[in-house]
Amino acid sequence: AQTVTQSQPEMSVQEAETVTLSCTYDTSENNYYLFWYKQPPSRQMILVIRQEAYKQQNATENRFSVNFQKAAKSFSLKISDSQLGDTAMYFCAFPYNQGGKLIFGQGTELSVKP
């Protein structure tokens, strides 16, 4: 069965600095996607970035980038130039190919301090 693990329940970073959130997963599939979602205090779930496993290039969206290591089954999120608005819970998620249900990690609560 697919599993997703986030080993950092809480992290904090100073404004303008860089922080990396870790995620590992387990799957027997070869082609798949991976996502990072952000949940700010407003509760809304927001897609931050996606990675397709067949692409060797790491995905980037503005200040957000991933370090995808397929062999190690690792999918970390790097946030550069952290802003106060980045304060949120971050979830790593793996979608089943059949049916597409998302398997979420436990989440990492990130605080950006001024």
Partner 1 sequence: DTAVSQTPKYLVTQMGNDKSIKCEQNLGHDTMYWYKQDSKKFLKIMFSYNNKELIINETVPNRFSPKSPDKAHLNLHINSLELGDSAVYFCASSRGGPSEQYFGPGTRLTVT
- The residue ranges that bind partner 1 (CB under 8 A) are 32-33, 35, 37, 39, 43-47, 50, 89, 91, 95-97, 99-104, 106-107
For partner 1, give the closer residue by CB, 19 or 49: 49
- The DSSP line for 30-62 is SS-EEEEEEE-TT---EEEEEEETT--SPPEET
Element (H, E) at 111: strand 108-113
For partner 1, give the closer residue by CB, 29 or 81: 29
Q: Which two tokens stand for residue 107?
A: 């989440």
Q: How far is the CB of 81 from partner 1 (least distance, A)?
A: 24
For partner 1, give the closer residue by CB, 36 or 112: 36
Residue whose token pair is 């069965």: 1
